[in-house]
Amino acid sequence: MVYQANEARYETMKYNRSGRSGLKLPAISLGLWHNFGGVDKFETGREILHRSFDLGITHFDLANNYGPPPGSAEEMFGRVLATDFKPYRDEMIISTKAGYYMWKGPYGEWGSRKYMISSLDQSLKRLGTDYVDIFYHHRPDPDTPMEETIGALDHIVRSGKALYAGISNYSAEQAAQAIEIANRLGTPILIHQPSYSMLNRWIEGGLQDVLDAGGVGSIVFSPLAQGLLSGKYLNGIPSDSRAAGASVFLNEKNITPELVEKLRQLNDVAASRGQSLAQLALAWVLRGGRVTSALIGASKVSQVEDSVAALNNLEFSADELALIDAILK
């Protein structure tokens, strides 16, 4: 059956301007880090993409190394773009990144001009598109001069292969330097993609101030703290969870009795607001308008639906915020 997007898809989604740019992003964006690779069921991922767009999620976030195997998430999205999303391409924000290891030799990772441009050319082939909307440098390179990396982003935008430039995982000091170089070159940084959640607040130590001053937006990944704030760990470790699978990012050692008790208390706060724990976590990172978009992952359509429903209640009282801080102190 030919895919036809929901006519009411823009009626309930909230869209936020990214910094001082003209671009608006949905408050909830979909990331394809996991669950959309070559090892995953194509039709499940396709269904998630369809439902996401039907709910007003216009931003789909990828990277050269997403899969597994690396590159396969871009290939999967490219298939859906060609068969289902092609009529809607101009309604979508498609992003990808380069920075982590992709191929052998000295030019297969980090931030050289050689790697950045070669990687994007490969990504465009896998995606089956002439351009991406946002191209990110995925992580700071300790050895390549920042001027070269940001200069490569400037060249890429001027070449038409990307409409906007972004950075990810940069510290406050690194972000400030990147923003200054980009402004000097004439291709401002549109957005920064850092990790951020109730359990991981590092961006509050100066990065948010740098972004605000520079007019740069932010899209935060892992707002559910690798699933800790999803609600699945309130009563033990499910056999199909990431922690049970001994993920390099999350394992059973992380799920301590003390943490579980804090999660249960947060779940009580969520219930008092008429939300799930995941909805509370998403609303919390979006509070106050400093974060442009929260980047979610999903293995089921229901997870996307639950996440988007968080937008029904984004307001927090001072007492609620104080209680959350007290629980996590």
Greatest extent of the chain over all pairs of C-alpha atoms, in Å: 54
Q: How many CA atoms lie within 13 A of 109 on its CB side?
A: 13
Question: What CA–CA distance (Å, rounded) separates 323 from 310?
Answer: 19
Residue 239, pLDDT score? 55
Residue 254, pLDDT score? 75
Element (H, E) at 120: helix 113-127
User: pLDDT at residue 249 above 80?
Assistant: no
Q: What is the pTM of this model?
A: 0.94
**Angle (CA) 311 313 315, round 5°:** 115
In this structure, which CATH number among 3.40.190.10, 3.40.50.1100, 3.40.50.200, 3.20.20.100 belongs to the domain 15-227+285-312? 3.20.20.100
Residue 1, pLDDT score? 76
Using pLDDT thresholds of 50, 70 and 90, give the confidence band for residue 89: very high
Cα–Cα nearest to 112, from 122, 98, 124: 98
For residues 296 and 52, the answer to whether their CB atoms sit within 8 Å is no
User: Structural domain boundaries of the chain?
Assistant: 15-227+285-312
For residues 227 and 233, the answer to whether their CB atoms sit within 8 Å is yes
Question: What CA–CA distance (Å, rounded) separates 74 from 67?
Answer: 8
Residue 253, pLDDT score? 73
Question: What CA–CA distance (Å, rounded) separates 149 from 152?
Answer: 5
User: pLDDT at residue 220 above 60?
Assistant: yes
Residue 255, pLDDT score? 85
Cα–Cα nearest to 25, from 166, 191, 226, 158: 191
Using pLDDT thresholds of 50, 70 and 90, give the confidence band for residue 238: low
Cα–Cα nearest to 150, from 186, 120, 123: 186
Tokens standing for 74?
């871009």
Give, in order, the Cα–Cα distances in Å from 7 to each of 12, 56, 75, 85: 12, 10, 27, 14
Q: What percent of the chain has pLDDT over 90?
A: 92
**Helix and strand tally (H, E) in the chain?**
10, 10
Question: What CA–CA distance (Å, rounded) separates 3 from 25?
Answer: 23
Of 9 and 255, the structure prediction assigns the larger pLDDT to: 9
Length of the chain: 329
